[in-house]
């Protein structure tokens, strides 16, 4: 895929192509957005544009790739010798210092078959402290003809020392994303359950079951989508070490994508609880995120503003806990039992 094939040219893409046309390519970029796989696609497009054998040019400068030459195909399949990737490892779900040292060693070498060496760090917010510090020296003094691309859906978790050394491009689009039909239906069902009688534990565990079922669907969907895109699906006859590496990367990518969608789902619940809080304050309907969801108003009649605010604090604490190695089901169970309905 090339930049020209994108269904919508975001401001980030326009700025990137403008920089290429003016010969103002940065040595380090931070691509931020809502979908990690979309950011990986954009990183591939930039790597292909820089090294394409038949690029689209403006005033003699490459601004897009042909997406058909041997170089473009190699970059798409992640078999190009000068394009290197680092992704969170499967067990720790972090980008380790060993990975970064290996990546930096590779980027210091001269290109073997391309004009530019490119290093892509997917989920850069998962760099641990040692890995981030090992990366800083190369980030400050990158070798010539090299480009470093960091990808993140949670840039607030990246060290400021790294953020300050990267050109940041946002590809999340304009404004908040509207709920799709499935999200709206699920939230209405969740609100309806929460609005029911909550005097017994049975009601709480129905809510928990609804949440866990949705998370199971999200994990299955992430696994199906990313597995279909994995090079494991394209190549059968590969060496064991490479297969193991790709399997580890796939497992890590699925976990990272699942965690991102889990955070989005819990944020949806937080917005709904915010509506509950606003109802307890008798705020105007124009301030509500989901004015048509009657469950929030029913719950608000049973609790006071202080309890509604505690609900928001509980969900916020749960989100933070889930970034650690806490057991997911237990953390969600404790959280739902604490909520005031």
DSSP string, 256-295: HHHHHHHHHHHHHHHHHHHHHHHHHTT--GGG-S-TT-HH
Counting beta carbons within 10 angstroms of the beta carbon of residue 306, is it exposed (0 to 12), middle (13 to 18) or buried (19 or more)?
Answer: exposed
d(CA 326, CA 334): 12
- Residue 109: what pLDDT? 87
Cross-strand partners of 169: 31
Whether residue 258 contacts residue 219, with contact meaning beta carbons closer than 8 Å, is answered with yes
Q: Class assignment of domain 3-170?
A: alpha beta
- Residue 174: what pLDDT? 45
Counting beta carbons within 10 angstroms of the beta carbon of residue 319, is it exposed (0 to 12), middle (13 to 18) or buried (19 or more)?
Answer: middle
- Residue 228: what pLDDT? 86
Whether residue 312 contacts residue 273, with contact meaning beta carbons closer than 8 Å, is answered with yes
pTM: 0.62
Structural domain boundaries in the chain: 3-170, 181-338
pLDDT in tens, the chain (341 residues): 888 888 666 677 888 888 888 888 889 999 988 778 889 999 999 999 999 999 998 888 888 999 999 999 999 988 899 999 988 875 567 888 888 999 999 988 888 888 899 999 998 988 888 888 888 888 888 888 899 999 998 887 888 889 888 988 888 754 445 677 888 899 999 999 998 866 678 888 889 999 999 999 999 999 998 888 888 877 777 888 888 888 888 888 888 788 878 888 998 898 899 999 999 998 777 788 888 888 899 999 999 999 999 999 898 888 888 877 789 999 999 999 999 98
């Amino acid at each position: 895929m090339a930049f020209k094939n994108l269904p919508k040219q975001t401001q980030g893409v326009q700025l990137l192509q403008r920089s290429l046309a003016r010969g103002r390519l940065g040595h380090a970029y931070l691509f931020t957005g809502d979908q990690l796989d979309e950011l990986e696609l954009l990183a591939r497009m930039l790597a292909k544009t820089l090294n394409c054998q038949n690029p689209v040019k403006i005033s003699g400068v490459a601004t897009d790739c042909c997406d058909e030459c041997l170089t473009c195909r190699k970059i798409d399949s992640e078999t190009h010798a000068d394009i290197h990737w680092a992704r969170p490892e499967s067990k720790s779900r972090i980008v380790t210092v060993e990975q970064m040292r290996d990546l930096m060693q590779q980027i210091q070498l001269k290109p073997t078959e391309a004009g530019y060496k490119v290093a892509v760090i997917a989920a850069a917010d998962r760099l641990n402290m040692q890995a981030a510090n090992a990366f800083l020296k190369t980030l400050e003094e990158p070798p010539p003809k090299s480009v470093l691309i960091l990808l993140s859906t949670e840039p607030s978790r990246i060290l400021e020392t790294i953020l300050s050394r990267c050109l940041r491009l946002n590809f999340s689009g304009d404004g908040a994303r509207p709920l799709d039909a499935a999200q709206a239906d699920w939230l209405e069902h969740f609100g309806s359950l929460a609005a029911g009688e909550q005097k017994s534990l049975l009601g709480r565990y129905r809510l928990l079951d609804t949440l866990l079922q949705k998370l199971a669907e999200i994990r299955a969907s992430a696994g199906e989508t990313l597995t279909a895109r994995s090079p494991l699906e394209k190549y059968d006859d590969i060496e064991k070490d490479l297969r193991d590496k790709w399997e580890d990367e796939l497992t890590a990518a699925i976990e990272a994508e699942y965690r991102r969608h889990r955070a989005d789902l819990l944020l949806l619940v937080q917005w709904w609880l915010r509506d509950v809080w606003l109802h307890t304050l008798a705020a105007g309907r124009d301030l509500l995120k989901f004015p048509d969801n009657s469950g929030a108003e029913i719950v608000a009649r049973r609790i006071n503003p202080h309890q509604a605010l505690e609900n928001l604090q509980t969900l916020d604490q749960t989100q933070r806990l889930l970034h650690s190695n806490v057991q997911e089901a237990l953390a969600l169970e404790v959280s739902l039992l604490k909520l005031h309905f």
